[in-house]
């Protein structure tokens, strides 16, 4: 039978760098795997993809992405399963979101066949880079950027689509401290907050840096208009447990539609955990702390998966959350999510895209 990836040209590296990797101490994003997939968009079509050794690329300083910010990416993960095969988690959901982001930035969609088959071939090529230690995985970074070399504010007519991979450990090694941000804004309604475009992250660096200088790990972004309602947390969506109910901010055009967020909400409801999407105000958090009804808070995202929050700073005052335990709601859901990804529990939603290891 012909493989779905057999038509993709693969130029294998002659000098693997895998022996340089300390798999027992994986700093997130430090190591890039041996190969990358590349396709170019010209004359309104994507070229046949090529998998080649990872390395530097020739680019013009007049490249439009550098000047006007047409750059979009996704964050995904692949896991080694207990049967030895590989699973890519929710590949089709990520592809859909990727194209939504591209559309918002006036960039051409990446066809599903190119996205899925290209990723399959790349992961298959570098499958030895997938770590197997607890909490580790292979991070996948598909991205598109405007590559046309021309000055002048315009929508690019040329793009590059690249997929890279990286063996990673946990994004956070301990519960985090966050600060409710009431001065700076990550995104406003009607803007690009729902898209995974590069500018959203570059613009968030400065207020996050200020928060870190004050002893915090991340900020809790609030709405751009009144700074009264919680949006998300740094590189993650945010969730709370109040009165035993899992609550997360309702999606708006200023909030990223997180794949992990969606997965957690789905699993929570199946586990008979009450889950609600609604506006959450700063006042709600303060009242929850005062009454003792706010018992958990955590970030949810592809990189972090579930990141427990230990402290929330509101109006300059630190509020501590109870210690996270194995029976905490976030840990119950995290465990179930992990078990599905590695094949310890049935994948009833067909979230895993399976790559058989030959």
Asked whether residue 77 is domain-assigned, the answer is yes
Asked whether residue 1 is domain-assigned, the answer is no
Phi, psi at 319, each rounded to 5°? -120, 120
Q: Which residues pair with 51 in a beta bridge?
A: 10, 37
Asked whether residue 287 is domain-assigned, the answer is yes
Asked whether residue 335 is domain-assigned, the answer is no
Sort strands 218-222 and 176-180 into parallel, antiparallel or unpaired: parallel
> What pLDDT sits at residue 220?
97
Q: How many domains does the chain have?
A: 2
For residues 246 and 329, give the distance between their C-alpha atoms in angstroms, rounded to a whole number. Answer: 8
Asked whether residue 26 is domain-assigned, the answer is yes
Phi, psi at 17, each rounded to 5°? -105, 10
Q: How many residues in the chain?
A: 358
Asked whether residue 84 is domain-assigned, the answer is yes
Claim to verify: residue 162 and residue 181 sit in the same structural domain: no
Claim to verify: residue 127 and residue 271 sit in the same structural domain: no
Claim to verify: residue 186 and residue 291 sit in the same structural domain: yes
CATH number for position 162: 3.30.470.10
Structural domain span for residue 84: 9-170+351-355
Claim to verify: residue 80 and residue 217 sit in the same structural domain: no
For residues 175 and 358, give the distance between their C-alpha atoms in angstroms, rounded to a whole number. Answer: 39
Tens-digit pLDDT string for the chain (358 aa)? 345 566 899 999 999 999 999 998 898 999 999 999 999 999 999 999 999 999 999 999 999 999 999 999 999 999 999 999 999 999 999 999 999 999 999 999 999 999 999 999 999 999 999 998 888 999 999 999 999 999 999 999 999 999 999 999 988 889 999 999 999 999 999 999 999 999 999 999 999 999 999 999 999 999 999 999 999 998 799 999 999 999 999 999 999 999 999 999 999 999 999 999 999 999 999 999 999 999 999 999 998 899 999 999 999 999 999 999 999 999 999 999 999 999 999 999 999 999 998 7
What value does the CA radius of gyration of the chain take, rounded to a whole number of Å?
Answer: 21
> What pLDDT sits at residue 4?
55
CA 262: distance to chain centroid?
12
Claim to verify: residue 83 and residue 183 sit in the same structural domain: no
> What pLDDT sits at residue 251?
97
Sort strands 159-168 and 35-42 into parallel, antiparallel or unpaired: antiparallel
Closest CA to 310 of 295, 288, 332, 300: 295
CATH number for position 293: 3.20.10.10
> What pLDDT sits at residue 2?
42
Claim to verify: residue 159 and residue 235 sit in the same structural domain: no
For residues 178 and 318, give the distance between their C-alpha atoms in angstroms, rounded to a whole number. Answer: 9
Closest CA to 20 of 142, 164, 171, 167: 167
Claim to verify: residue 26 and residue 56 sit in the same structural domain: yes
> What pLDDT sits at residue 171?
84
């Amino acid at each position: 039978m012909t493989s779905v990836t057999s038509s993709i040209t693969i130029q294998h590296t002659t000098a693997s760098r895998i022996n340089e990797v300390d798999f027992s101490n994986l700093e997130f994003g430090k190591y890039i795997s041996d190969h990358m997939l590349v396709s170019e968009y010209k004359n309104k079509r994507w070229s046949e993809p090529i998998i080649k050794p990872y390395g530097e690329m020739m680019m013009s300083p007049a490249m439009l992405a550098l000047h006007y910010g047409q750059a979009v990416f996704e964050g995904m993960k692949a896991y080694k399963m207990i049967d030895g095969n590989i699973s890519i988690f929710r590949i089709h959901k990520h592809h859909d979101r990727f194209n939504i982001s591209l559309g918002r930035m006036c960039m051409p969609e990446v066809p599903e066949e190119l996205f899925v088959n290209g990723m399959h071939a790349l992961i298959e090529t570098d499958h030895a880079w997938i770590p197997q230690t607890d909490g580790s995985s292979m991070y996948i970074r598909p991205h598109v950027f405007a590559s046309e070399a021309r000055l002048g504010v315009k929508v690019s007519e040329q793009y590059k689509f690249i997929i890279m991979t990286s063996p990673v450990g946990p994004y956070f090694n301990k519960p985090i401290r966050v600060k409710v941000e009431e001065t700076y804004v990550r995104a406003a309604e009607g803007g690009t907050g729902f898209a995974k475009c590069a500018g959203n992250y570059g613009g968030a660096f400065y207020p996050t840096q200020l928060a870190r200088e004050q002893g915090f790990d991340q900020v809790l972004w609030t709405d751009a208009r009144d700074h009264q309602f919680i949006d998300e947390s740094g590189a993650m969506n945010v969730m709370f447990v109040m009165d035993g109910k899992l609550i997360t901010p309702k999606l708006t055009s200023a909030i990223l539609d997180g794949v992990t967020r969606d997965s957690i909400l789905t699993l929570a409801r199946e586990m008979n955990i009450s889950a609600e999407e609604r506006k959450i105000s700063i006042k709600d958090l303060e009242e929850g702390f005062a009454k003792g009804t706010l018992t958990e808070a955590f970030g949810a995202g592809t990189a972090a998966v579930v990141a427990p929050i230990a402290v929330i700073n509101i109006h300059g005052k630190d509020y501590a959350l109870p210690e996270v335990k194995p029976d905490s709601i976030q840990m119950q859901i995290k465990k179930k999510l992990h078990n599905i990804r590695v094949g310890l529990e049935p994948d009833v939603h067909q979230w895993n895209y399976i790559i058989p290891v030959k």
